[in-house]
Amino acid sequence: TGSEEVHEFKTETKRLLDIVANSLYSEKEIFVRELISNAADALEKLRQTQSVESDVDSGKPLEIRITLDREKNQFIIQDFGIGMNLEELNANLGTIASSGSKKFLEKMDKEGGAGSKKENIIGQFGVGFYSTFMVGNKIKVYTKSAFPGSKGYCWTTDGQGSYTVAEAENVAVGTKIVIELRDDAKSYSSELEIDSIIKKYSNFVGYPIFLNGKEVNVIEALWTKDTKSVTPEQHQEFYRFIANAWDDPQYTLHFKTDSPLAISSVLYVPEKHMELLGEQTKPGVSLYSRKVLIQPESAGILPHYLRFIKGVVDSEDIPLNVSRELLQDNILSRLRMVMTSRVLKWLDGEAKKNPKKYDEFFMDYGQFIKEGACTDAMHKREISKLLRFESSKSENNSMISLEDYAARSQEGQKRIYYLLTPKRKYAEESPYTEMFKKKGVELLYLYDTVDEFVVNHLKEFQGFDLISADSPDAASDPLLQMERDANSQALSDAEAQDLAKWIETSLGDEVVKGVDVSRRLNSFPAIVQEHESPAMRKMMQMMQGSAK
């Protein structure tokens, strides 16, 4: 080796090192993710550089090798990437917050290098490397630039405030980092531990990672591929992998957008949802940025009622904070808006493509959609399209959408009528439905307790008010009046009014608020109107029960 130079980190740097090593990251294990990301960047830079300068080469495969030594307590990571020359070593590893990767991108941008894809480069903050100080007593970096005629160097630090650089013999092109693990970080020489950390954060990194000789990241980042090139089998495999499942997705969505945010995403609806009564499944969509995990199964990406959806969303340009663990709140809420609308549009599209299949989906997942109708006021219109109900006119207990109802409503009809009923049979025999049948006005049958809350939240759909069949509004609807038969023996209007008065005084106001004449009945003498809703009644009964 040649002459050795000792460099002091600047004072500010010492303080910064302390911050990075002790408080930037919530988990020590992050150093694995950071080193792999750097190695992947180095390989990507080599690949991109080679496309313009063919004599730049490492002579080795584009891969990352991690070796663990339990005896020596070492974590070693090697890549055959672009490497660093002396100047780059000092600039990139000797200076905090200096990112060679960011500079590389800027240079590529300017020169418009062939095959340059900025979304493939992960690094941007220039602090990731220092995460090794959380786990290492001593860190050695062997590196040699892939540009012809370069020399090899060894860079060492104990993380305390100085580093040394020296020329070194027998250094392979690329970079090899050897970490002597601290006593409290010995577990990072365990293969099992590192295997799970790699799979957690770096499973989709674009270059093969070998751990003690075995390849660990065999699953591709499917979402980055061209949407048309992915086969159903590939989706099935990917779905099973990310959802940890054995079934097949019943719906698959693979999409990319550029505005308002650059997003690549794959989303799946499992064959069946796994939620049991009283239990709630975790959110199923993980957030990635440039193929590196940012938030696993994040609660921020989709609203709670869409928790049954599994998948991945990758946004290459979301502004991460330096630790990559958080993103700015306003960005997350924008991402959530985009994703929510996209998912609702997707389900609506599937429903139109294959209504029968969608009905089956709704039988199983309807509770989630209804939960959304009650909780997500912002997307009320989109969600209301996804609802399905049985109706007086639907055959074989099939279901219809509110759109279907509106489309085939009668001339002059301004309302969507529904009846809360435990069973179709009761509804069909009910005096409330008599006039609907006679006049051919369609009636939705709502069987589920939650349905009442759903219609109360929606209130209207495409200009149609949602009205209960047993409400006074229904009674006064001109569409629902019995015509007067000229030669019938019915009471005259005046006689009917007198009778109503008499009934009202006889029953007294303890029993009724009032008695009215109506033309909405044919074979029934009278009906109760404006009583509490079934859900309300249930609640009252419960309250009375507990009062006793």
- Residues at the site binding Mg ion, with contacts judged by CB under 5 A: 37-38, 123, 128
Nearest to 518 by CA among 487, 468, 484: 484
Cβ atoms of residues 147 and 159 within 8 Å: no
CA angle 520, 525, 528 (to 5 degrees): 70
Q: How far apart are CA 188 and CA 180, in angstroms?
A: 10
Instruction: Kindly give, in sequence order, each residue whose CB lies less than 8 Å from that of residue 299, ignoring residues fewer than 6 positions away.
Output: 283
Shortest distance in whole angstroms from residue 34 CB to Mg ion: 5
Residue 93 interacts with ligand ADP (CB under 6 A): yes or no: yes
Look at residue 216 and give the partner it binds from ligand ADP, Mg ion, none, a contact being a CB closer than 5 to 8 Å depending on partner kind.
none
Restricting to residues 23-62, which ones interact with ligand ADP according to CB under 6 A? 34, 38-39, 42
Q: How far apart are CA 446 and CA 399, in angstroms?
A: 11
Restricting to residues 476-535, which ones interact with ligand ADP according to CB under 6 A? none
Shortest distance in whole angstroms from residue 315 CB to ligand ADP: 17
Q: Among the candidate windows 91-99, 365-373, 419-427, 482-490, which touches ligand ADP by CB under 6 A?
A: 91-99
Look at residue 434 and give the partner it binds from Mg ion, ligand ADP, none, a contact being a CB closer than 5 to 8 Å depending on partner kind.
none
128 class by beta-carbon count within 10 Å (0-12 exposed, 13-18 middle, 19+ buried): buried
Shortest distance in whole angstroms from residue 334 CB to ligand ADP: 24
Phi, psi of 255 (to 5 degrees): -145, 155
Shortest distance in whole angstroms from residue 306 CB to Mg ion: 33
Q: In what order do the strands lie in the sheet with 389-391?
A: 399-400, 389-391, 444-446, 415-420, 464-468, 460-461
Exactly one of 101, 157, 315, 421 binds ligand ADP (CB under 6 A); which one?
Answer: 101
Binding mask 113-132 for ligand ADP (x = CB under 6 A): ----------xxxxxxx---
Shortest distance in whole angstroms from residue 25 CB to ligand ADP: 12
Nearest residue (CB) to ligand ADP, 92 versus 295: 92
Look at residue 79 and give the partner it binds from ligand ADP, Mg ion, none, a contact being a CB closer than 5 to 8 Å depending on partner kind.
ligand ADP
Q: Which two tokens stand for residue 167?
A: 């020329």
Residue 316 interacts with ligand ADP (CB under 6 A): yes or no: no
Nearest residue (CB) to ligand ADP, 33 versus 254: 33
- CA separation (Å) from 242 to 247, 270, 469? 12, 12, 46
Q: How far out from the chain centre does Cα 72 lie?
A: 42
Nearest residue (CB) to ligand ADP, 131 versus 394: 131
Look at residue 175 and give the partner it binds from ligand ADP, Mg ion, none, a contact being a CB closer than 5 to 8 Å depending on partner kind.
ligand ADP
Residue 178 interacts with ligand ADP (CB under 6 A): yes or no: no
Give the binding-site size for ligand ADP (rule: CB under 6 A).
Answer: 23
Nearest residue (CB) to ligand ADP, 75 versus 129: 129
Nearest residue (CB) to ligand ADP, 237 versus 325: 325
Look at residue 222 and give the partner it binds from Mg ion, ligand ADP, none, a contact being a CB closer than 5 to 8 Å depending on partner kind.
none
Q: How far apart are CA 226 and CA 255, in angstroms?
A: 9
Restricting to residues 201-260, which ones interact with ligand ADP according to CB under 6 A? none
Residue 99 interacts with ligand ADP (CB under 6 A): yes or no: yes
Mode of pairing for the β-strands spanning 64-69 and 209-211: parallel
Nearest residue (CB) to ligand ADP, 38 versus 73: 38
Q: How far apart are CA 325 and CA 310, in angstroms?
A: 21
Shortest distance in whole angstroms from residue 76 CB to Mg ion: 18
Tell me how long the chain is: 548
Cβ atoms of residues 281 and 305 within 8 Å: no
Which DSSP state fits 513? Answer: S
SS (H, E, C) 106-119: HHHHHHCCCCCCHH
Residue ranges for the binding site for ATP?
34, 38, 79, 84, 92, 99-100, 124-129, 175, 324
Q: Which two tokens stand for residue 512?
A: 């009724």
Nearest residue (CB) to ligand ADP, 123 versus 283: 123
3 state SS of 51 = coil
* Site for ligand ADP, rule CB under 6 A: 34, 38-39, 42, 79, 81-84, 92-93, 99-102, 123-129, 175
